[in-house]
Amino acid sequence: MSIKIIALGSGVCANGCAPGPRRFPPGFLIDYNQQLLLMDASEGIRYRIEDAGYDYGLLQEVFLSHVHPDHAAIAQLLQAKLCRALWGEPKAGVEMMNVYLHEASVQGFEQSWAWHHPEAGEKMNHFPDKFNFNIQPIRGSWEKEVFSGLTIKAFGVYHGFGQHPALGFRIQTKEGVIVYTGDTGIVDSLFENVEKADLLIADCGTRIGREETGGYGHMGPGQCGLLAYRGQVKELWLTHYVGFDAPAAMESEARKSGFAGELKVATDGLVWERS
């Protein structure tokens, strides 16, 4: 029994703004005993799944923290799965996918899908004998055992001036606990849900010195460090940062909270695994 998580994207909604290597927008792939779960699906995510050594066609469980385009290019992934089912060799797992997103964002997805596929009429699944997907509305406190031995819990967070429905996720297995904040400012729900996590993947979209709790809805490295320290987290990844601050400066700022655990400024391809 094992769990592995791969950072398929540690970047933001734009590139070319800051020095440093190219980083793709968010996506985190979990391999739990050869069962795949994806948190956030930015553009081109299927290629990055393949680059990590996996078959995107076998991905069946996708969780969206929120539906900003750099996190939720979900129509493209669904179309890729559909066409794979139509044209590819028959393979168990290719024929379906579940997409979980905040209940307040479901209607917007349905309208978008109809815009992409007007030829399907009112059907969401227009080749039901080949491929079916399910849109699962969820909210904070929702919880499910997605795979035997792996439970995921959603919790509400703060983003887009509080106007954008957004979620974080806590994944629990006997091998370890992973928490992904999604995009958020620092709020009480984070402290309640990161407690004693083995790995905390924290949004670090605010620059050093510009951290504030009442802003748009991102954290800075000092806030991420404080969250990890108070939650007694074992390992912290700082992700979704633009790149204006040097990694060493980000680490130093996060350490000011007193956090003494493992700390990494995430880059694409970073891996964490336990068995």
Q: How far is CA 25 from CA 33, 124, 126, 132, 242, in A?
A: 26, 27, 30, 27, 10
User: For residue 130, what are the contacts with CB-CB under 8 A and spacing of at least 6?
Assistant: 82, 85, 86, 95
What distance in Å separates the CA atoms of residue 160 and residue 162, rounded to the nearest whole number?
Answer: 5
Span 204-219, average pLDDT: 86
Confidence of residue 1 (pLDDT cuts 50, 70, 90): confident
Tell me: pLDDT of 213 over 80: no
The pLDDT, as a whole number, for residue 116 is 93
Q: Are 197 and 172 in contact (CB under 8 A)?
A: no
Instruction: Specify the amino acid at residue 240.
Output: H
The pLDDT, as a whole number, for residue 194 is 99
Residue, of 10 and 122, whose pLDDT is higher:
10
The helix (H) or strand (E) run that includes residue 249 is helix 247-255
Question: pLDDT tens digit string along 89-100?
Answer: 888 889 999 999
DSSP letters for 162-224: GTS--EEEEEE-SS-EEEE--S----HHHHHH-TT-SEEEEE--SPTT---TTSSS---HHHH
0.85 exceeded by the pTM?
A: yes
Tell me: pLDDT of 106 over 90: yes
The pLDDT, as a whole number, for residue 214 is 56
The helix (H) or strand (E) run that includes residue 16 is none
Tell me: pLDDT of 62 over 90: yes
Tell me: pLDDT of 44 over 80: yes
What is the longest distance spanned by two Cα atoms in the chain? 57
Of the candidates 41, 43, 47, 79, the residue with the CA atom closest to the CA atom of residue 61: 41
Domain residue extents for the chain = 3-274
Span 118-143, average pLDDT: 93
Tell me: pLDDT of 48 over 90: yes
CATH code matching the domain that covers 3-274, chosen among 3.40.50.450, 3.30.379.10, 3.60.15.10, 1.10.357.10:
3.60.15.10
Instruction: Specify the amino acid at residue 209.
Output: G
Tell me: pLDDT of 122 over 90: no
The pLDDT, as a whole number, for residue 212 is 72
Least confident stretch, 14-23, 57-66, 100-109, 127-136: 14-23
Q: Are 243 and 18 in contact (CB under 8 A)?
A: yes
The pLDDT, as a whole number, for residue 4 is 99
